[in-house]
Structure 1
Amino acid sequence: MTTVVGLDPSLTAAGIAILGSPGTTDTPNVPKLVTVGVSGSESATLAERSTRIGDQFERIIRSMPSSVRLVVIEQLPFTAPKFAAKYQERCALYYRVTEFLARRKIPVVEVGATTLKKYATGDGRADKREVVNAMRDLWPHAKVRNDNEADALALATIGAMHLGWHEPELMQHFSPNVNWTGLNR
C-alpha cells in the first residue's frame, strides 16, 4: 500500500498522520494518527540534548510505514521564537528527518503554519482548537487526540489531494499555497 505522511515535527510531541491510497485501503479510509516524543530537562547537557534529538528522530522514522510516497512537513518558522535553544534543537530534528527521507528519495514538501491553518479552517490565523475541530469534521472516523495530530492530518490531506487521492471539499482546499517544485504526481 502507498501512503502519504503528514509530519508536525517536535521533540516533545511530534504529530504524524498516515493516509493510505484510497485504491488500496478499506472504506472508510481512516488515517492512522500518532504522537511521539518525551519531555526534556532545562538543565540537560549538550550530550543529553543531542541524544534526545537522535531518540526522537528514531521514534518519528519508526512511526512511518515503508510504503511512504510523500511526506508533507510543517515548515520551520523563519525567525526563532523566544526560546532559541529549543528552536535550534527543533531545527536539528527537522533537518535530520528530512535528510534521512531525501537520501531514500522520498519526496518531502514543506507547508508553512499559516497555509496549514488556512487549508484546515479557511483562516490562516486560526488557533489550535479550530484546526483540531476542522480536521475532526473533515475526517469523522479519525481519532484526532491533540493539535499535533490535527496539524499532521491537515498536512497529509494536502499531500493526498495533490496526488489526486481525494477531491477538494471546501473552498480553501482548491489552491493551498504550497511549493510543489520538483515533485511529480
Structure 2
Amino acid sequence: MTVLEAVEADITTQDVDAIVNAANSQLLGGGGVDGAIHAAAGAALLEECRQVRASRWHDGLPVGEAVATGAGELPARWVIHTVGPNRHRGQTDPALLASCFSGSLDEAARIGARSVAFPAISAGVYGWDADEVAQTAVSTVRSWVASHPDEVDLVRFVLFGSAVHQAFDTALAT
C-alpha cells in the first residue's frame, strides 16, 4: 500500500529515490524550487538537463510532461522535471496540472523510483491557488496509485510554508 504524506520541509534534503522539480520549460534552472534544486544538485544536474534538451526536447519541455535525470549532489537518486501550467499565461486547465503529477509518477515507475517527493507544482509564482493545487495533486496521485498499486511505496508532498502545508493536509484528510 502506497503511503501519501505531507511535510513542511526543504525538498532538496529529502532522502527519497526521486524528487520532482517544478521546472521551467528550458530545464536550465530558475527561481523557487527549480533554483533551489539546481543549486543543491550542482553542475552535474545542469549538464544532464542540457543533454536532455539537445537529445529530445529541443524547444523545451512542454507543460505537463516529465523527464528524469540524475540528481547530482542531492540525497535523491533522480530528479524528475515537470513544467506546471502558468495561470498568468492563461494555462488554467486543471488537467494540465494533473498531468504534471501523473506524468511524474509514470516517469518514477519507468526508472524504478519507489519513493517520490513532490513540491506544490504551480502554486505561488505560477498563480495557482494552493488549495486547488493540493486537491488536484492528491486526487491525481490517489487515482494513479489505484491503477498502479505496486509501483511506488511513498509519495511525499514536501511543502514550503505552513499555509501550503495545511492545504495539502486538508486535501489528504478528505
Larger of the two Rg values belongs to structure: 1
TM-score (norm 1): 0.34
TM-score (norm 2): 0.35
